[in-house]
A and B are shown apart, each in its own frame.
Chain A
Amino acid sequence: MQFGLSESQEILKDTARKFFAGECPIAEVRRQMETDTAHDAALWSKMAEQGYTGIIFPEDFGGVGLSAVELALLMEEAGRALLPGPLFSTVALAGAVLSAAGSVEQKKKYLRPICHGQARSTLALLEASASWDPADARIDTTGNKLTGEKLFVPDAAVADSIIVVSRDGAWIADSKAFGIKISKMSGMDLTRKIYSVQFKSTPAEKLANTAGLSRGLDIAAAALSAELVGGMQRCLDLTVEYAKTRKQFGKPIGTYQAVQHQCADMYLETESARSAAYYAAWALQENIPDASVAVSIAKMYASDAGRTVGNRGIQIHGGMGFTWENDLHLYYRRAKASETALGDATFHRERIARAVIDAGAKSAKSAQ
């Protein structure tokens, strides 16, 4: 039993950190976020060369064959860099669902080009009801034709295919298919664009293994939790650095306990979110029975901590923290979008409650 990263995991994480720092420094993040899609084709090719677009997919389909833990480490570093564009939506979200729910043929058709960096994908789940429970989806799938509207779909404008979650499973459609209309939604996060996608009798193919959908979504939620951790770590680092250099009353403001204690809380929350995210990824890798609870614990904690770490970081930066020029608000915006994506803390606490409180009621009844 060893809850530390292995040597190869350390190397992967370190390499990713250097890669993102070199290829997508914050000035580049700011450039891309001002573009329509926040997607850069040249950067995408380089990520594919690194194997990032196929990191968790089987080698049979051109992937690297690593596990949810390595995906979490990659996403943590992407989060630290505030990487714009569709890496999360293509790999951690749509890719993970395809991998878990697709047939061999479907994976050959859709997953292989993703691994090779030739295609991007995304997943459409939320509707006007804003429910993350697929059972609440109302999109019509009669006769393998999709009709309805999905909201908050990340990176839809640069996706080649879109996975659509319905009440009866998951479907995949070509993003250029008949009847699809993609419109931009204007969200707080400038680095990950969101869209509404309307379908009208759009031909789609059902993913063969419906049961795999929940596992795919769990992998995505664990990866998103890890991405939040990376963002928190960056906020903490920026804030500690600022507290060491900014002087008031003749001393660095980090000398004052009112500031120090806020930094300590940022550290505590970041480390705790990291423990939970790593464990969730490991639980998914090993397919342990309560992996879904571990995912909910990770996403619940990271959703709240991403926000509170940002709150403290901005406060300690004082007036500077409130400026457009300072980078903190970019992380803060991402954290808010990620907080609700794939279920906020309230949603995941209810999921935990169903597993641990209601299970108790059942066993109490069966004992009577």
Chain B
Amino acid sequence: MDLNLTAEESQFQGELRSWLAVNVPKHWDRMREEALEERFDFLRKWQRKLFDAGWAGISWPKEYGGRGASLMQQVIFWQEMARAGAPPMANVLGLGLIGPTLIAFGTETQKKRFLEKILNAEEIWCQGFSEPNAGSDLASLQTEARLDGDHYVVNGQKVWTSYGWIADWCEVVVRTDPAAPKHKGLTVLLVDMKSPGVDVRPLRQMTGETEFNEVFFRDVGVPVANVVGKVNSGWDVAIGTLMHERGSFGAGLQIIYKRNMDRLIELSHTVHRNGRPTADDPIIRQKLAQCYAEIEIMRLNQMRAFSRISATGVPGPEGSIQKIFWSELNQRFQQVAQELLGPFGQLTAEDDHAIDRGIWSYGYLRTRGNTIEAGTSEIQRNIIGHFVLGLPRSY
């Protein structure tokens, strides 16, 4: 166990820190006042800037536009981004899920075609997994793909598709063998969202935003060359993607959590309750300290997990604790924020009295989705029970 940086890691950290000091945009969080499209465009340009300077895809192979550095340097990257208060990158799913899936399962042609454009945000990705009748029971999905010569014809519907409204490409799980048992007849396809027959409709969330979408596929043609992994072995590929989603995806979140925590501590000195700063209230102090500690433990759990992945090469089912931890922690954090802010916590961006332009009321509502998206807390606990602890399957 040695958490000291190696000479190489230290040099990497130093270069990144200097670069961020000069290049992180100021006051970017005011972007919340802008429309979703404008915010996205801003983050896209920021990612492009990172890519041009060599900071995108730290652990991705060089031949596909990455930096070819170690997974631990990737971890350092997130920590430094958090430390600098930098904006996150735009192509969240491409970087966190689809890229790693293609690196593990993709053909050489697919890697050459797609990876670099993920890193430079030229092509934005979304993920077509859930369906109206296949949520937690993902393998029961019904979107079908029929082989017709050199292409598949896709018909069906996906739902809760984040970034569907802006995405250029989608990693879609389809049923290619309806006769096989439910896990055996699935295949993963890369679908061009501009294909004829793809229809993206906005889905309004309880926050009022339309972050995600319904996506309809009607006789959409997808070349056979866009199959990822083997035909009818799509479950393994999908699970590979989900392992990344559960295990490593949360690592980028420390950027946001640390920023939120720092801001809430700042506010505790200016927001008063009973005639004194909330920072002096013993109960608020206890709750802030608990959140601070849990954010640190989230970081430490992730570092331990990454050290294990460095040794084994792939994320395992134990990554489910990361998913549970980041989602439930964020809910607890926003709850404490509401408590600290009192009646002001409810105010939205439109109100002149709102603190921080309403981000706290938005954050409070948004966190309810955290324990549902990317696999519910219940599903994550099933995974730990069965795959990590070896308890019998409950279903």
Q: Which residues of A contact B389 (CB under 8 A)?
A: 240, 260, 263-264, 267
Q: Is the beta-carbon distance between B391 and A243 smaller than 8 angstroms?
A: yes
Contact partner of A267 among B3, B75, B296, B321, CB < 8 A? B321
With A and B bound together, what is the CA distance between A174 and B72 in angstroms? Answer: 50
Q: Which residues of B contact A28 (CB under 8 A)?
A: none
**Chain B nearest Cβ from A273, distance in angstroms:** 8
A142 within 8 A of B: no
Q: Is the beta-carbon distance between B392 and A251 smaller than 8 angstroms?
A: yes
Q: Is the beta-carbon distance between B384 and A267 smaller than 8 angstroms?
A: yes
Q: Is the beta-carbon distance between B382 and A257 smaller than 8 angstroms?
A: yes
With A and B bound together, what is the CA distance between A9 and B307 in angstroms? Answer: 15
A349 within 8 A of B: yes
- What band does the interface of chain B fall in when counting residues whose beta carbon is under 8 Å from A? 35 or more
A352 within 8 A of B: yes
A residues contacting the other copy or chain, number (CB 8 A): 50
Chain B: which residue is nearest A304 at the CB level? B290
With A and B bound together, what is the CA distance between A274 and B279 in angstroms? Answer: 30
**Chain A nearest Cβ from B104, distance in angstroms:** 22
Question: Would you give the 0/1 interface string for B249-268, flagging 1 where the beta carbon is closer than 8 Å to chain A?
Answer: 00000000000000001101
Interface core residue of A1, A278, A301 (most chain B CB under 10 Å): A1
A220-279 with Cβ < 8 A to chain B: 240, 243-244, 251-252, 254-257, 259-261, 263-265, 267-268, 271-272, 274-276, 278-279
Contact partner of A268 among B3, B75, B384, CB < 8 A? B384
Interface hit among A76-84, A104-112, A356-364: A356-364
With A and B bound together, what is the CA distance between A144 and B306 in angstroms? Answer: 53
Known: A268-B324, A282-B1, A356-B289. A275 touches B297 (CB 8 A): yes
With A and B bound together, what is the CA distance between A308 and B324 in angstroms? Answer: 17
Interface core residue of B76, B289, B378, B384 (most chain A CB under 10 Å): B289
Q: Is the beta-carbon distance between A279 and B300 smaller than 8 angstroms?
A: yes
B194 within 8 A of A: no
Chain B: which residue is nearest A69 at the CB level? B1
**Chain B nearest Cβ from A315, distance in angstroms:** 15
**Chain A nearest Cβ from B139, distance in angstroms:** 18
A211 within 8 A of B: no
With A and B bound together, what is the CA distance between A344 and B119 in angstroms? Answer: 47
A131 within 8 A of B: no
Q: Which residues of A contact B279 (CB under 8 A)?
A: 357-358, 360-361
B292 within 8 A of A: yes
Q: Which residues of B contact A364 (CB under 8 A)?
A: 266, 269
Q: Is the beta-carbon distance between B286 and A3 smaller than 8 angstroms?
A: no
Q: Is the beta-carbon distance between A255 and B300 smaller than 8 angstroms?
A: no
**Chain B nearest Cβ from A10, distance in angstroms:** 10
B4 within 8 A of A: yes
Q: Is the beta-carbon distance between B325 and A272 smaller than 8 angstroms?
A: yes
A6 within 8 A of B: yes
Q: Which residues of B contact A257 (CB under 8 A)?
A: 378, 381-382, 385, 394
B293 within 8 A of A: yes
Known: A257-B382, A267-B384, A349-B285. A297 touches B307 (CB 8 A): no
Q: Is the beta-carbon distance between A3 and B1 smaller than 8 angstroms?
A: yes
B282-329 with Cβ < 8 A to chain A: 282, 285-286, 288-290, 292-294, 296-297, 300-301, 303-304, 306-308, 310-311, 318, 320-321, 324-325
With A and B bound together, what is the CA distance between A301 and B325 in angstroms? Answer: 14
With A and B bound together, what is the CA distance between A353 and B289 in angstroms? Answer: 5
Q: Is the beta-carbon distance between B386 and A260 smaller than 8 angstroms?
A: yes
**Chain A nearest Cβ from B260, distance in angstroms:** 14
Contact partner of B1 among A2, A240, A263, A264, CB < 8 A? A2
B18 within 8 A of A: no
Question: Would you give the 0/1 interface string for B375-395, flagging 1 where the beta carbon is closer than 8 Å to chain A?
Answer: 000101110111011111110
Contact partner of B2 among A1, A268, A294, A300, CB < 8 A? A1
Q: Is the beta-carbon distance between A356 and B76 smaller than 8 angstroms?
A: no
With A and B bound together, what is the CA distance between A353 and B286 in angstroms? Answer: 7
**Chain B nearest Cβ from A118, distance in angstroms:** 32
A14 within 8 A of B: no
Q: Which residues of A contact B72 (CB under 8 A)?
A: 1-2
Q: Is the beta-carbon distance between A356 and B292 smaller than 8 angstroms?
A: yes
Q: Which residues of B contact A300 (CB under 8 A)?
A: 289-290, 293
B177 within 8 A of A: no
B1-33 with Cβ < 8 A to chain A: 1-6, 9
A183 within 8 A of B: no
Q: Is the beta-carbon distance between B392 and A352 smaller than 8 angstroms?
A: no
A269-310 with Cβ < 8 A to chain B: 271-272, 274-276, 278-279, 282, 286, 294, 296-297, 300-301
Question: Would you give the 0/1 interface string for A195-224, flagging 1 where the beta carbon is closer than 8 Å to chain B?
Answer: 000000000000000000000000000000
- Chain A contacts to B: CB under 8 angstroms: 1-6, 9, 69, 240, 243-244, 251-252, 254-257, 259-261, 263-265, 267-268, 271-272, 274-276, 278-279, 282, 286, 294, 296-297, 300-301, 346, 349-350, 352-353, 356-358, 360-361, 364
Known: A255-B394, A263-B391, A267-B321. 18 other contacts (CB 8 A): A1-B75, A3-B303, A4-B304, A259-B391, A261-B381, A263-B384, A263-B389, A264-B324, A264-B384, A267-B384, A267-B389, A268-B324, A275-B301, A276-B300, A278-B300, A282-B1, A300-B293, A353-B286
10 A-B residue pairs with CB within 8 Å: A1-B9, A2-B72, A261-B382, A263-B389, A268-B324, A272-B321, A276-B296, A360-B265, A360-B269, A361-B269
- Chain B contacts to A: CB under 8 angstroms: 1-6, 9, 72, 75-76, 265-266, 268-269, 279, 282, 285-286, 288-290, 292-294, 296-297, 300-301, 303-304, 306-308, 310-311, 318, 320-321, 324-325, 378, 380-382, 384-386, 388-394
